[in-house]
Each structure stands twice: as structure tokens, then as C-alpha cells.
Structure 1
Amino acid sequence: MDTATQSGMQQSAVRLSDCIQLMQADLVHANPTPENLGHPVSDVLMYDPLDTWSSVDDRIILAVGCTYGSPDFDQLLHRAANSNAAAVIVKAHGARMEQLRSAAVRHTLSVLVAPDDADWTQLVALARASVMGAAADSVSGVRLGDLYAFANAAASITNGAASIVDPLGRILGYSTLPGQPIDELRRITTLTLQETIQPAFDQDFKAVYAAPGAVLVPALDDGMARLALAVRAGGELLGSIWIIDPGEEKRATALDALDRMAPLAGLHMLHARSASDFGERRNADLIRTLMDDTPHASFAAAQLGLDTANGLAVAAFSIVRPETGSLESVREIHRLLHLVTTVCNVQFGSGHSALIGSVVYALLPGNGPSPRALHARIIQEIEAYSHTISSFPVIATVGGIAATIGELPRSRSEAMRTLHHLLNLQARQGKSPGNNKVPGVALFEDFQVPLDLLRIGEFIEDNGLAGADEISRIQARDAEQQTEYLETLRAYLAFNGNISTMAAQLHVHNNTVRYRVARLAEDFNLDLADPQKRLWLWLRVTTMELAAK
């Protein structure tokens, strides 16, 4: 670290208690006293016993690899105390708190104990950001990690609508102050929670990342100019803040305010990242429990705070990609999760959604006089905006309303069966472009008849009911002799034996149809006048056709 930077930190030194509060990293102070809590902090140091000892005055030292009772541990505390260090952060690794407290008191040094599973890289980033952030009080009072509240504070200070963006182009938070002008780009990105162009390919983002502080980004086309700032912590790029330009008279003040809030912005983004990762995992686990673990579903519903008075329906969303293992496919499915969450939040005031495997699930309340019409409108809206997150189509389906928590697995099954059916129809449409366009969204009841027939077909196959019946023998004859008896039988069943209609469908003469039907009856011993036989043949032909890939 250069001298100028050190000097700047010392001039804005903060108290140890401020840093502990801002880090919010589950640290336990082994020996808190008014004196050591008030110790000034200027920087953070990662300790390595093999390194040459340097000045640690007013620094927080992270004791990586040092355990209580080891020579390195005792040497570190002794040297840190003699060099006026602000504190030492250690991990207990089996040591009792009384032992650590005794060592801290003996050396008259603040010892902070981190959880054994804490990530040292995350701790050092939080510690460094807290040192810088504690000196920036322009947005104090905002709960750490609440990026929407932070964006509102930034918008209020700079007089321009604010958005906070991560390096992948995801919108992590945006301001909602009334009266501040926005443009179409801002409107789209806050709805989809995603930039229209990835930062890696956007020249404006590259310019902002390369700048040492806040900069003016000129307007393009009919849009509005922006003030923007890259946000970093410990040298890591966390994202950027974008402010709608408040105008020439207020611009200089706004740019200065952005620069001053940069350290605290980094601290907020670090906390938000940790909270977001934990929140997404927790949501996924709880929603998976709702749909897969009926005995514990009520507990999961209570943890999620679900309102089940009017029932719930499971919605399923998937991106139709030829491959799903690439980095871009992972990014796109997370963008879809954010899009689904945003639309549900806007519609219901809360959103319960999760990414499980490669499918995004959402729980839709059954409120209102026409809940199914509302469900259809929501998935149509999500599909309509899906082009902003992926160039590939999105399939969206909703299972039936579950009146109780115990019925949610059935709703999920219906949503997934509908989704797979639409995927199959789209794949078949691709092979036969002349067919009618297959919808990308559907409620379960839109396809309930074919879906129920598919289950009947599965039952027939799973229980060996087909065996070597007439259909199997007809298929074998057609394959062996290149005949078209199965197609003839399908037409016969579809048109109730009407010879003229069958001939038109098969593009052959009426006499040819009569000949084929006669041969069918004779060669395969089919009594087509028997209604039960016709029903069985129709079920076999229809379920086979529906299941065809």
C-alpha cells in the first residue's frame, strides 16, 4: 500500500466498534472494553508468520492458520500488542472462549473470534470495506445489504434515479423515489432485473470499470445520460452504480457524492451477495420440501410465510436450449429466476420462487375471482419479456390449484407434465414446420385430455398390457412389407369408418380404402364392429402418437 493511501486512511480512521458493526460477520469479541472498542482502525493485514514483520499500528490483523497454543499464535499476539494493533481476528479451532479471552487480556489486545467455517477471503474483503465504509456516513442508517434502500438513499443524495448492477449485468437494486425521471432502458432493466447488453460486451460498462472514480456516460439515441461508478472491495469488482443524470447544475455535486459513497457501496454489495446466496439456497430448499417432502411441508410453508387460504398453484419455467451445461446457460436460467421473482412480486406483493435443477418454480396464490385467468396472464407476461434474458424460447406452465399444502406435489407434477408436453410438441413442430404454432405457455387444463391419455399410455406400457396385440403385429407387418395398415387404421378410427373422408385424408381412391380395411379385418382378425375393440385400438394408437418424440 502506498504512503498516500495509508495517510488518507489514517486521516479518516474509524473505531474498532464501527468496523465490527459494519462487518456483521458473526465475530465474537473475546475481551470487549470501552478502550479497545474505541481503538482507531486504519487498515487490514493478512498475517503470515514467515513474512517480514511490518508496521501494524491501528490495523486489524487476520491470523490465517494460527491456532491457540501454537508458538505462532503467542508470537502474533505479543508482537501485535507491542505494535499497537487494533485487533486480531482468529478462529477457535477447538479452543475454549475462556482460553482466548485469557490470552487477549494477558496481552491487552482485542481478539475477535470468527466461526471455524468462515471464509478468510470473504472476511478480509468485509474488513477492508468496513474500514472504508465506516468513514462514509452519507448513507448511514440503511441496513447493510439492503440494496433497494441503498439505491433510494443514493437517488435522494444525487437527485437521479439509481440502479445497482453486478458484473454479470443483473440489477441488484433500484430506487423507487417518486418524481425522478427515467427512460425506456431503465424501465426495461428494472422489470427484467437484467441489463439489455452484458457488461463484458458493453463499451459504457468497460469505460466505467476503467475509470478511477465516478464518470458521466453520455446519452445514446433517445435515452438519458448517466452518472456511473465502479464499486470494488479489496480490489475485487463487485459491480457498479448508475444514476440518471440530474442535469448540468447538479452533476458535479452528484459525481462527488457518488465518489464519497463508494466504500460503503462496496460493503453493502458484499453483504447483499452473501445474503442473496443464502436466501436463494434457503428458498430452493424450502420449496423443494413443499413439493417433495409432504411430512415436513407444513413446516416449510410456515418458514416461507405462505398464505394458503385460497390455495396455491405451482408454475414451472424452462429455457429451451440445445445444451444446458455452458456458463451462459447458467447465467440465463438465473436471469429467468429473477424475472419470475420480479413479476410475482409486482403482482402479489411477494414472490416465492426457486431454481431447482434447470427449472424455475414459482408458487402462485389462488386469490381473486378468476385466479386461473390471472395465472395465465402472469406466465404470458413472463414469456413476453423472456427475450430480454435469452435468445432461446421460454416454456411456462402452471399446474392446477392445490387447496392444501399436501396437494402441492400434484400441482407440480401437472405443471411439469404440461411443460414436457409443450417441449415435445415444439420438437415435433420443428420436424414438421407446416403444423400450427405450438404455444409457449399453458395451464394444465389447456392440455388435460392429452396429458391424461399419456398417463393411460404409460400405464399400458408399465403393466405390459400391450404385449403382442393387434397394434404390435400391424407395426411389424408395416415395417417388414412397407405397407400402411397402421395409417389406415388410424384414419378409420379418427373418421368413424367414413370411406370418403378416409380416402381424402390418405390421398387414395375409395376402393383402395375399402380393400385396406378388409385386409386389416381379415389378416389381423379385427372385429371393427365391436365398440370395446375399437376403444382399445383407439387408445393404443392415440397414446402412441402423443408419446412419439
Structure 2
Amino acid sequence: MLGTGVPDLGQVLEVLGSSLLRPLTEPPEKPVPVSGVLIHERRAPLPFPAVTDAILLAVGVGMDEARAMDLIGSAAQAGYACLVVKSFGEPVTALVEAARQAGIVLLAANEAVAWHHLDAMISSALTPAVRFGQAAGAPAFGDLFALANAIAGMVGGATVIEDPHRRILAYSTLPGQAVDEGRRQGILGLQVPDGPDYDEQYRVLTRLGRTCRFPAVPGGLPRLGVAVRVGSEVLGSIWVVDAGEHLDSAAEQALSDVADNVALHLLAARTTESAVRRRYADLLRRLLADPSSVTAVAPQLGLDPNLPVAMAAFAVASVDAEDALTAHAATRLADLVSLHCEARYGRHGCALIDGTVYALLPGEPSPNAHRELVAYIARRAHSALRVPVRAGLGSPVQELRSIESSRADADLVLRALSERPGDPQPCEVASIDEMWAGATLSALAAMLATHEVVPRRLGPAIRAHDVEHGTTYASTILAYLDADGDVAAASHLLSVHPNTIRYRLSRATEIFGFDLADPDERLVLWLRLRLGGRLDW
């Protein structure tokens, strides 16, 4: 690992993210030191003497030009750290092979990002404050607050800076600037309040690439807003209150101009925050895989291992869990769950494991607090992602080392919700106390599925007979047992005459040899038929 005074290419790419730069060649195993960034014009020679270990931006160089091949060889020989190109959909195979042969890293830049913008982004990523901010264990939001004050002074109104999920990252504190109730509520909860008026404003803001002027919502004040972007990706937004409706076109232009600068700060803050969040997720995964590690993990999670906790589980309700869109939605769901849990409890760990997002919730005096939070997060996630979301809350456990028990409960709740008949609801939330019956059946089904020695004669035999002979013994017996042995109720469920129910039951006992008067046989027969669909019986 390089010392803190010398950045390496891997660190730069981690700060900027794949939305800006993506490797076309495999990065070398050893760190690649980076000394700076240079823009190379297409018709100009390479800077001489060469700036060793610099990132070279190949402006205007086409992928199929001989100049591109020559530039790769010259840059490698001169000792540049890497070469950055824009492909614009052109084939890059030959160029990639040439870079491999020359031993230089080749990167592709986002075509929508201007070269001067990319130059500024990389230069920002090379600063120690950006690269090593994660060493402090939290994003450096102090700079964002200073930036919000600077914008408020320059544009002329109270300012907030938000992320794409409408979480307030920073706000101005200059005296004498008017604010409204919506801003006050947002700052108190660090989250923009829900409401159709706000939804429409955000839709307009993300669609247009300029500063927008919005009229006052009920009980509020007019605003200027601008989306903060890197290429086509929205990193967040800036909002300025126009209390006296005196902000003119110069203010609009100033807000638009400052968006690029805010993008640099948001990139640095987001990358640092993501690194910290990944660390906490890894700690939670370690704890779930090895509860005996609680002594080492608990202090790093900021938790007392002897206090009660509970586990919540969230999942995107999809028929195909392997679908790429579902996987992408699950990743975004993990980000949303992390944001909301951090706002309530601080960083105690959220992790995406096999498509399920797990959140560790510290114990609270109110028994319904966890349930209300889980339901709130699920509703917000469904609203943001536009996909059905399920959430399950496990039972509280008295110490952190027993968290696996609460996780098992939360998993059972998710499974029971998914096994409900019909299409998934937009937002389904339940605790283990609410779903104990369905969760118990799910646990039994999972247990029976792994016990090959358990006799399977009744359930499968009845279903097989129905398929072969066109009978309905399985559904009749199940309806009778579901109705607690009430023939009239069973006949109503199946819309047949009670005598038909009696006849079918009589014939079934003759054919299959069970005894409905025996409580044990009734219980096992009901389980066989009730769980048959889950066990393929």
C-alpha cells in the first residue's frame, strides 16, 4: 500500500466511481502511483519532458485512428500512469490489446462528461482530503455546510443540499434569510417531507438540465432548484428559498454554475460514506456468520453486546430473484435501508446478503418502535424504487450474540409473506408476532423437505390419485380439515352439496386407509396436504 502522501490509481477510481471512469484493461496487481492529470490535444505532441505517473486524457482521439495506437505506445514509454479515452460506441478491442501489450492501463470516460469537467473531478480525487477522508470513519460533511453557506450568500437565499433520496446533507445558517415550515421539518429530520407537490418538483428537476423556478407549495415559499449531475447520473440537488421572489436570472445562472463544484463535494462525500457503509456491512456479515465474534465486532459497530437488539429483513418481491433488474433494485434497497437506519440509530450495520437486506436495530423502550420504523422504510423504498417490497421483523433478543435467532425469525416472516396466495402487494410488512402461524408452517416445510426418512404416503398418494383419475379428494379433505370437521362449512367453501362432501370423505378413507377420528392422523394429513405445494408432494 502506498503512503498517504502518494495517491494510487485504484484510490482515484474508487473515489470517482464507475459512472465516470471504467477500466478497459485489467488494473495491475501492484498499486499504480498517480502524480497528476494532463489533457492531451489530438494534434499536439506529448508533453515533454513527460510528467511521470500522470493520468493522460486523450481528447478527440478516435478509437480506429493510427494516432490512438501511437499514443498508447508513447504514453507507456514515457511512464504515464494510464490513458483515458472516449469510445462513443466505437470498437475498442484493438486498442485494448495494444494497451495490454504496452503495459499501460486504459480507461474509458463517460461520454456525457466534458473533458474539462473530468479533469477537475480527477484533480479533486487526487487531493488528500478526498482520498483519505474515510480514515476518520465518517464523511466530511463540514465542507458541504460551508459550501451551503457560500451558495446562500452568493445566490441570496437559504440553501439546502440533498442527495438523490431527498436526504438533506447540508443547509445554510446565514442570519436574516427566510425559511418555511417545509424546510424546518426537513432540517429537523434531515429528510424532505413526503408530499405530491414535492414529488412533482423532483420529477421536473431531474428531467431538466438547468436551474428551475418553482412556485410556493401550500404553507411554503418559492424556490430555485438545480440537479447536481455527473454526466447522466444525478448525485443530488441544490435548493434556494426565494422568500421575496427577488432572485433574478443572475441568481439562476449562479446556481447553475455552482452545481459542478457541488458535484465534486458530493462525489467525495458519497465515496467516503460508501466505504464506511461497506465496512459496517462487512462487520454485520461477520457477526451473522460467526456469533462468537461479538466481542470483537460489537465495539466496531458501536453497540453494547449485552443490550437487546432485533433484526429486520427487507427484500424486493420478484418472481425471478436472479433477474438483473431485481438485483439492481436490491442494491438500491440496501442503500435506502442504510440511510434510514443511520438517520434513526447511527451506523450499526446493514448488509445485502443473497438478495435480502438485513438491518440491525438496537433495542428501544417502545415495543412498536421497530415495527413502525420497518413499515416506514418499506413504504419509502416502494415509493422510491417503484417495485413491491417485503419486510419482516424478527423477535428482539437480549444480547447481540443471539442475533442469529432474530435473523431466522425475520427470514421466516419474509418467506411466509412470499407464500401468501395471489400477486405480491406493493408493500407487505409483518413482525414474527403477527406471522407466527405462517412462519411456523414455513419452518415445518423447510424441515420436512430435508428429512427423506419421513413417510410420504398419504399426501402424495392422494394428489397422484386425483391427477390420474380426475378426482378431487385432496381439495375435499383439506377443505374439511380447514373447516374443523364442519361438513356444512366445507361444502360452502367448495360450493357443493354437503352429501357430496360426506361421500368423498367416505370413499377417500376406503381408498387410502386413513382414520379421520384419529387426531394424530388428522394433523399429519392436514400438514401433508397444506404443505404439499411447497414440498412438491
TM-score scaled to structure 2, two decimals?
A: 0.66
Equivalences for residues 90-239 of structure 1 within 5 A: 125-126=120-121, 128-129=123-124, 144=140, 146=142, 149-150=145-146, 152-154=148-150, 157=153, 160-165=157-162, 171=167, 173-175=169-171, 180-181=179-180, 183=182, 187=186, 190=192, 196=199, 202-205=203-206, 207=208, 209=209, 215=211, 217-219=213-215, 222=218, 224-228=221-225
How many angstroms apart in 1 are the aligned matches of 2:118 and 2:53?
8
Aligned match of 2:409: 414
Please say if residues 487 and 498 of structure 2, whose CA atoms lie closer than 8 Å, have aligned partners that are also in contact.
yes
Matched, 1:430 2:423: yes
**Conserved? CA contact 2:382–2:426, under 8 Å:** no
In the TM superposition, 1:392-471 aligns within 5 A as 392-425=387-420, 428-430=421-423, 440-471=428-459
The residue that corresponds to 2:238 in the other structure is 241
Q: Is residue 298–residue 405 contact of structure 1 (8 Å, CA) maintained in 2?
A: no
The answer for the alignment partner of 2:284 in structure 1 is 287
Out of 465, 481, 484, the position equivalent to 1:493 is 481
> How many Å separate the matches in 1 of 2:314 and 2:205?
32
Q: CA deviation at 1:389?
A: 0.4
Structure 2 Cα separation of the partners of residues 64 and 162 of structure 1: 36
The 3 A distance-change label for structure 1 pair 123 and 410 is: farther
Question: Cα–Cα, structure 1 residues 154 and 543, in superposed 2: closer, same or farther, change >3 Å?
Answer: farther
1:300 equivalenced with 2:307 (yes/no): no
For these two proteins, the number of residue pairs brought into alignment is 447
Counterpart secondary structure, 1:272: helix
Label 1:74 to 1:324 Cα distance change in 2 as closer, same or farther (>3 A).
Answer: closer
1:383-429 Cα deviation digits (max 9, x unpaired): 3334430332221111111322332222222212211221221xx22
CA deviation map 1:436-465 (0-9, x unaligned): x89711001211223223322333332124
Task: Tell me, yes or no, if the aligned pair for 1:395 and 1:419 is still in contact at 8 Å.
Answer: yes
CA distance in 2, matches of 1:153, 1:365: 35
Question: Quick one: distance in 1 between partners of 2:157 and 2:268?
Answer: 24
Kindly state the Cα deviation for residue 477 of structure 1 after the two structures are TM-superposed. Answer: 1.8
Q: Secondary structure at the match of 2:416?
A: helix
What per-residue deviation string (whole Å, max 9, x for no partner) do you get for residues 327-348 of structure 1?
7656644553444334334443
Residue pairs, 1:74-93, within 5 angstroms? none
**Does 2:269 match 1:272?**
yes
Q: Distance in 2 between matches of 1:516 and 1:75?
A: 89
The letter of the residue matching 1:539 is L
Q: How big is each residue's C-alpha offset from its partner over 1:261-308, in whole Å with a ceiling of 9 and x where there is no partner? A: 666534422311321331232232222112223343442332221244
Q: Structure 2 regions of 5+ residues with no counterpart?
A: 8-35, 57-73, 83-103, 110-116, 130-137
For 1:439 and 1:450, the matched residues in 2 are separated by 18
How many percent of aligned residue pairs carry the same amino acid? Answer: 28
Match of 1:63 among 49, 54, 58: 54
Unaligned 5+ segments in structure 1 are 1-23, 30-42, 66-70, 77-88, 92-115, 135-141, 432-436
Q: Would you say the 8 A contact 1:312–1:366 is kept in 2? A: yes
What displacement does 1:205 show? 4.2
| 247-256 vs 534-543, greater mean Cα deviation | 247-256
Aligned to 2:27: none
Task: Select the residue among 286, 310, 314 that pairs with 1:313.
Answer: 310
> Would you say the 8 A contact 2:315–2:389 is kept in 1?
yes
Tell me what 2:532 maps to: 544
Q: Following the alignment from structure 1 to structure 2, what is the Cα–Cα distance between the partners of residues 160 and 331?
A: 38
- Cα 1:176–1:358 change in 2 (3 A) is farther
**Deviation by residue 1:508-542 (Cα, 9 ceiling, x = unmatched):** 33433333332222222223333332232233233
**2:397 & 2:428 partners in 1: Cα distance?**
23
Query: Could you say if the C-alpha distance between residues 308 and 190 of structure 1 is closer, same or farther in structure 2, counting changes exceeding 3 Å?
Result: farther
Tell me: CA distance 1:236–1:349, structure 2 relative to 1, closer, same or farther (3 Å). Answer: closer
Distance, in Å, in 2 between the alignment partners of 1:266 and 1:189 is 20
SS at match of 1:449: helix
Residue 477 (1) aligns with residue 468 (2): no
* Cα distance in structure 2, aligned partners of 1:267 and 1:25: 24
Does the 8 Å contact 1:233/1:267 carry over to 2? no
Q: Is the Cα contact below 8 Å between 1:174 and 1:190 reproduced in 2?
A: no
* In 1, Cα distance between equivalents of 2:259 and 2:148: 15
**Shift, 1:243, TM fit:** 2.0
Write the distance in 2 (CA, Å) between the matches of 1:519 and 1:352: 58
Contact 2:228 2:236 in 1 (8 A): yes
Q: Structure 1 residues 204 and 466, CA, compared in 2 at 3 Å: closer, same or farther?
A: same
- In the alignment, residue 444 of structure 1 is paired with which amino acid? I
The 1:360–1:263 alpha-carbon spacing in structure 2 relative to 1, beyond 3 Å, is same
Query: CA 1:292/1:75 → structure 2, altered by over 3 Å: closer, same or farther?
Result: closer
Corresponding residue of 1:26: 4
